[in-house]
Amino acid sequence: MEVQEYLKKAAQTVDVALDSLIPKQSTKPASIHKAMRYSLFAGGKRLRPALALAAAEACGGALEAALHAACAVECIHTYSLIHDDLPCMDDDDLRRGRPTCHIVFGEGLAVLAGDSLLTLAFEILAQAQPTSRYGIADFVRELSVASGSRWLIAGQVLDLESEGKPVSKSALKFIHQAKTAALLTCALRLGAMSANVTPSKLKALTDFGQALGLAFQVIDDILDVTQSTEKLGKTAGKDVKAFKATYPALFGLKKSRALAAELTEEALSALKPLGKKAVMMRGIAESLLVREY
């Protein structure tokens, strides 16, 4: 199967699962469930859940075993976008090509929709099947640590605090690791754990995720300055405007592109212990390097 076809099918599978796991739009109070669904079904690429499913398969498991984990990670990702877009944070009114949650539903409901998706992520994760090596406590610890105040949220905190200030290269790297690589790695790990992965393969996937996550964010920084708002589905050139620390700002475009390629190579090389079964993950990593949005 081609990478793009795999990603498309994974996204469809995840969308069907999410639709069954999220309260219906008519569930009272309707407004909050409408807001949650608005942001969750806004045509996201479903990269993180696709990585969870691909990791499960690369570890010899069935894609289905990782579905709850995949959906939980996507709920976390979507909540973080809703909150990051708030006026008191990055103040953005466009996301995935549509007005952001607070523009449509108001700030109060947007905060609560984010809170609800964050909470729901754990409700969904608790429905996963434990394996002989990993229990629900392991799954929950994995997701809560990656999305908590030392990783995902830390990234947003440092991002906010670094606006308009000079940022060292190592500080920028940590922001990107926390903001992007941690949850992406978590998706891979949860998918692999759902397939009862061995510790050594789990380590390989972790290394893969950390390099891939950094590459992904470097490319994101590049696209912010090279692509149009229309193509990105979110406001282009925003990082520059907000005087945000980015790779192009610190290294220039050419060096940033070389770095993204280097990190992708590093990611691919980390996959070796998984052998041929990792073919789809290799394909995904390569496709992310040349993505245009």
Binding interface with a second copy (CB under 8 A)? 23, 27-29, 31-33, 36, 79, 83, 86, 88-89, 106-109, 111-112, 114-116, 118-120, 122-123, 125-127, 130, 135-137, 140-141, 143-145, 147-150, 153-154, 156-158, 160-161
CA-to-CA distance for 131 and 193, rounded, in angstroms? 8
The residue (of 138 and 207) whose beta carbon lies closer to a second copy is: 138
171 exposed, middle or buried (CB, 10 Å; 0-12, 13-18, 19+)?
middle
Q: Which of left, alpha, beta for 180 (phi over 0: left; psi -120 to 50: alpha)?
A: alpha
CB of 279 to a second copy, least distance (A): 33
Give the residue among 78, 75, 79 at the shortest CA–CA distance from 21.
75
Helices 47-58 and 67-84: crossing angle, nearest 10°? Answer: 160
Give the residue among 173, 184, 230, 212 at the shortest CA–CA distance from 77.
184
The residue (of 145 and 259) whose beta carbon lies closer to a second copy is: 145
Backbone φ and ψ for 98, nearest 5 degrees, come out as -130, 160
The residue (of 118 and 259) whose beta carbon lies closer to a second copy is: 118
CB of 165 to a second copy, least distance (A): 14
What is the Cβ-side half-sphere exposure of residue 92, based on CA atoms within 13 angstroms? 22
CB of 64 to a second copy, least distance (A): 18
Provide the 3-class DSSP secondary structure of residue 198: coil
The residue (of 88 and 290) whose beta carbon lies closer to a second copy is: 88
From first CA to last CA, the distance across the chain in angstroms is: 22
Scored b (16 or more CB within 10 A) or e, 147-161 reads beeebbbbbbebbee
Give the residue among 227, 82, 32 at the shortest CA–CA distance from 90.
82
CB of 138 to a second copy, least distance (A): 8
**DSSP readout, 19-59?**
HHHSPPTTSSSHHHHHHHHHHHTS----HHHHHHHHHHHHT
The residue (of 127 and 168) whose beta carbon lies closer to a second copy is: 127
The residue (of 91 and 262) whose beta carbon lies closer to a second copy is: 91
CB of 105 to a second copy, least distance (A): 10
The residue (of 138 and 266) whose beta carbon lies closer to a second copy is: 138
CB of 271 to a second copy, least distance (A): 29
CB of 232 to a second copy, least distance (A): 23
